[in-house]
């Protein structure tokens, strides 16, 4: 088959599209003919290399995809050939204390398809049955392949971990990014007053269309100062910050007393300076979040399937141009998701 391959850690020149061995289908796995898959910032980090990541090369990346079931392993019960499915990338052991208590995202062996093991940006992918969800007939492949990772992540961050309530205020940083644009929609759906940051008038206009009530260009104004002005010096109840080093202290400054900062990553750096005096004096909470449970995935994806939430698509490319997709993400060109499709179906 043809697959996207990373031949080494480095720049976009290490990305290739070419022949790769066909996947073998395990007893609990499903062979999926991939129709579309989305790039995430995670793919950039995997390509560049992470200190704790040890991968055999070449490595097939990709944590988002959707397609048609071609074959099922003998222990598979939920799917059959011809079914339409989407990938949800979190893999757990099912046996540790956290899995047994119902939260597999806390699994001691939790890992992601495409990051720690072979991903799904290829013509065919063998995926564990538990890592697939049904896709309704009316949903197009680009939407199906672009939604699961960012919407489950943003849903868990806001609805579960931050315990967002109607009437509260939320600041979403990078509102035009993958997780950011999902978070704006979810916060608006939950009945929150939504504040959002962006770097261009086009991105801010799009954030407003998604449900943001207040927007600011962070390259022109200090966003914590803007938040204080907009809220009568109070601050917001929740900040969504997946950017990290470049925004961390300003995010803390933007919070009201007893506020919550929820994070799922650090795209601009993972070791920021912090503000312990402000954290303890204002009794702030710093909350981490990763992916979503199966129930959370089901809940949020139902709202994607019925059109309540919609992934923004900034570009659709053939998989042979995946390197260009990485450049778009790294260059912060446009807003929304970059989708790649196998060249044969592009």
Q: Output the pLDDT for position 266.
A: 83
Give the pairing of strands 132-134 and 84-87: antiparallel
Dist. CA 308–CA 182, nearest whole Å: 11
Dist. CA 164–CA 182, nearest whole Å: 15
Dist. CA 176–CA 338, nearest whole Å: 12
Residue ranges of the chain assigned to CATH 3.90.180.10: 2-146+311-345
Q: Output the pLDDT for position 18.
A: 97
Burial of 314 (0-12, 13-18, 19+ CB in 10 A): middle
Burial of 236 (0-12, 13-18, 19+ CB in 10 A): buried
Residue ranges of the chain assigned to CATH 3.40.50.720: 152-288
Q: Output the pLDDT for position 99.
A: 97
Q: Output the pLDDT for position 44.
A: 95
Dist. CA 4–CA 265, nearest whole Å: 24
In the chain the first and final C-alpha atoms are separated, in Å, by: 15
Between 3.30.465.10, 3.40.50.2300, 3.40.50.720, 3.40.50.300, what CATH number should domain 152-288 receive?
3.40.50.720
Closest of 179, 242, 185, 246 to residue 218, by C-alpha:
246
Dist. CA 233–CA 254, nearest whole Å: 9
Residue linked to tokens 């207040």? 214
Dist. CA 183–CA 197, nearest whole Å: 12
Reduced to 3 DSSP states, what percent helix, strand and coil does the chain have, rounded to the nearest 5? 30, 25, 45
Q: How many CA atoms lie within 13 A of 184 on its CB side?
A: 30
Dist. CA 283–CA 278, nearest whole Å: 8
Q: Output the pLDDT for position 102.
A: 93
Question: Using an 8 Å Cβ cutoff, are 183 and 150 in contact?
Answer: no
Dist. CA 256–CA 198, nearest whole Å: 21
Closest of 219, 175, 166 to residue 193, by C-alpha:
166
Dist. CA 62–CA 121, nearest whole Å: 5
Instruction: Give CA 141 to chain center in angstroms.
Output: 17
Domain 2-146+311-345 has CATH 3.40.47.10: no
Whole-model pTM over 0.85 = yes
Query: Residue 129 has what DSSP assignment?
Result: G
Mean pLDDT, each 10-residue run in order, the chain (346 residues): 97 97 97 98 93 91 98 97 98 96 96 96 98 97 98 98 98 93 98 96 94 95 96 98 91 98 87 92 97 97 98 96 96 90 94
Angle in degrees, 0-180, between the axes of helices 41-48 and 322-330, rounded to the nearest 10: 100
């Amino acid at each position: 088959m043809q697959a996207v391959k990373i031949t080494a850690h480095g720049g976009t020149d290490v990305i290739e599209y070419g022949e790769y061995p066909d996947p073998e289908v395990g007893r609990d796995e499903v062979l999926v003919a991939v129709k579309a898959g989305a790039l995430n910032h995670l793919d950039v980090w995997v390509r560049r290399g992470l200190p704790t990541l040890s991968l055999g090369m070449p490595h097939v990346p990709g944590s988002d995809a959707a397609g048609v079931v071609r074959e099922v392993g003998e222990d598979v019960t939920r799917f059959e050939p011809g079914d339409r499915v989407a990938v949800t990338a979190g893999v757990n052991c099912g046996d540790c204390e956290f899995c047994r208590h119902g939260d597999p995202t806390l699994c001691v062996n939790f890992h992601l398809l495409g990051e720690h093991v072979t991903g799904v940006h290829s013509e065919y992918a063998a995926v564990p049955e538990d890592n697939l969800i049904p896709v309704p007939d009316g949903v197009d492949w680009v939407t199906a392949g672009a939604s699961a990772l960012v919407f489950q992540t943003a849903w868990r961050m806001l609805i579960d971990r931050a315990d967002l309530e109607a009437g509260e205020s939320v600041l979403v940083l990078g509102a035009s990014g993958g997780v950011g644009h999902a978070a704006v929609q979810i916060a608006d759906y939950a009945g929150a007053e939504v504040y959002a940051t962006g770097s261009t008038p086009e991105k801010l206009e799009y954030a407003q269309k998604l449900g943001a009530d207040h927007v600011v260009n962070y390259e022109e104004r200090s966003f914590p100062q803007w938040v204080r002005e907009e809220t009568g010096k109070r601050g917001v109840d929740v900040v969504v910050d997946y950017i990290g080093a470049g925004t961390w202290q300003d995010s803390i400054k933007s919070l009201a007393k007893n506020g919550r900062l929820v994070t799922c990553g650090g795209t601009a750096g993972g070791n920021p300076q912090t503000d312990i005096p402000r954290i303890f004096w204002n009794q702030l909470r710093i909350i981490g979040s990763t992916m979503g449970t199966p129930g959370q995935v089901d809940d949020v994806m139902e709202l994607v399937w019925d059109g309540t939430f919609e992934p923004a698509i900034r570009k659709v490319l053939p998989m042979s141009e995946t390197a260009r997709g990485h450049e778009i993400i790294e260059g912060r060109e446009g807003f929304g998701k970059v989708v790649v499709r196998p060249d044969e179906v592009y």
